[in-house]
Amino acid sequence: MARMKFLCDSERCIECNGCVTACKNENDVPWGVNRRRVVTLDDGVPGERSISVACMHCTDAPCAAVCPVDCFTTTADGIVLHDKDLCIGCGYCFYACPFGAPQYPQKEAFGVRGKMDKCTFCAGGPGDGTAEEQAAKYGRNRVAEGKLPMCAEMCSTKALLAGDGDVVSDIYRERVMKRDGRPQSWGWLAAYQDEV
């Protein structure tokens, strides 16, 4: 059985935020909620690195462990989903998540939180209902159509990889071998290719 995983190649990420835009557009994510975001370390300094972060669909998901209403489930493909009909928006999962993936839309005044929203690996959510109802609640179900998450498919530099963990690791391993241990983003070879 596959285990769906994300991997962001920090040597390739150019902080374009295309993945963030693609996610918001595809899943019609409301303002204030970011299922995915780009984090940059040492911004503006030579050697800066950016990575795209969202729910990592952990094997032993801490959000599921702390949820007081047990609304998290892991699909057969290793995608961590939650039932919004059960979620009470308590925020425990936000405290537990090391990536800050759970998001809470502000539904009312005075900072009242709505039900938690997070990356679904573009695999929809649990429960029955029409495709439109499911899409409105959880976002598009691209996996059912044989497609991968929109963020990864839209990544212009192919920094963000998504799919079966075995395939993703094969692709990444080939890249690292081709790089010969050197980063691709800096140095003479990046600018002048073979003319040095």
Residues that bind other proteins (CB under 8 A): 1-2, 61-62, 64-67, 69-73, 75-77, 81-83, 85-86, 123-128, 141, 143-144, 146-148, 152-153, 158, 161-164, 167-168, 171, 174-175, 178
User: Closest separation between CB of residue 109 and other proteins, Å?
Assistant: 29
User: Closest separation between CB of residue 71 and other proteins, Å?
Assistant: 5
Nearer to other proteins, 39 or 66 (CB): 66
User: Closest separation between CB of residue 13 and other proteins, Å?
Assistant: 14
**The tokens of 17 are what?**
């935020």
Nearer to other proteins, 107 or 158 (CB): 158
Nearer to other proteins, 14 or 41 (CB): 14
Q: How far apart are CA 147 and CA 114, in angstroms?
A: 29
Nearer to other proteins, 64 or 106 (CB): 64
User: Closest separation between CB of residue 46 and other proteins, Å?
Assistant: 25
User: Closest separation between CB of residue 28 and other proteins, Å?
Assistant: 20
**The tokens of 85 are what?**
């009909």
SS3 178: helix
Q: DSSP state, 143?
A: G
**CB 20, CB 8: distance < 8 Å:** no
Nearer to other proteins, 17 or 75 (CB): 75
Buried b (16+ CB within 10 A) or exposed e, 162-190: bbbbeebeeeeeeeeeeeeeeeebeeeee
User: Closest separation between CB of residue 62 and other proteins, Å?
Assistant: 8
Question: Could you tell me which residues are beta bridge partners of residue 123?
Answer: 141
**The tokens of 26 are what?**
């595809």
Buried b (16+ CB within 10 A) or exposed e, 117-144: bbbbbbbbbbeeeeeeebbebbbbbbbe
Nearer to other proteins, 37 or 175 (CB): 175
